[in-house]
Chain A
Amino acid sequence: MKLQIDKQKDWRILRLLEPRLDAHNSGELKDRILKLLENGEKDLIIDLSEVRFIDSSGLGALLSGYKNANLHQGRLVLAGPQPRVRSMFELTRLNQVFDIYASVDEALAEN
């Protein structure tokens, strides 16, 4: 799982540098998110702009991260999904769970 982690304001921004988020790499993403939360990071933006394909395992890893962030009194929001990736959140109604922003800048501006 290639990802880049930056910090802006109080947010850690995880930019996923993978074209696919599927059962092959979603377990690692889940672990990386959990480790950040356990290390005291609270507020996470997951930048999905490079991801062109997501499956149910990828959605599950993000949902797990969302729940773990809540358990750690933090927040996890999503930014920049491509239209077909975004449509997967709508199909599974997970768009009702996540705060999804068009870009990282928009997520930062609104939080």
Chain B
Amino acid sequence: MMNTSINDIQVDIVVPNQTRYLSLIGNIGEAIAKELDRYQGDRETLAYHLNLVLTEAMTNAIRHAHHDNSAKTVRVQIHIDHNQLCIKVYDQGQGFDLESIPEPDPGAPVDHGRGLFLIRTLMDEVEYRQGKDANVLIMKKKLS
């Protein structure tokens, strides 16, 4: 387990594998961002970006890893310490190689494939770890 100190925030939530829960999780991210008075930048923009990366990561888990199987669940952890925010989204799918996902081609736009591009653009560090029981997408952002 992660160690928490007095100013840390830690959220650990499990929701059914359904897109109707995207707004719930996204809104939690927004609400947390608005509380981060230690953040130097624009908190409203950070709030939108957290909503977005949570929505994108959850959509990947629900659609691509779990194939919309409503019997599955998605686990999301958000941890904030004094200078960093870390989001983990777990899935039980087959996994994928993050490096093999191509960047969208602005010259020939297609109507899918921008989710991970947005996550990588908006977060400082992105990593996908494949495990025996679950995989996890780890997204970090510096707060100062």
Q: Which residues of A contact B (CB under 8 A)?
A: 20, 22-24, 53, 55-57, 59-61, 63-64, 67, 84, 88, 91-94, 96-97
Contact = CB atoms under 8 A, between A and B. Distances in A.
Interface residues of B, number: 27
A91 B121 CA distance: 9
Does more than half of chain A's interface fall in helix, strand or loop, or is it mixed? helix
A96 B22 contact: no
Interface stretch (B71-79, B104-112, B126-134, B135-143): B104-112
A94 B118 CA distance: 13
B23 A24 contact: yes
Contacts of A67: 111
Contacts of A55: 22, 52, 55-56, 59, 115, 118
A53 B22 CA distance: 12
Contacts of A60: 111-112, 114
Contacts of A96: 106
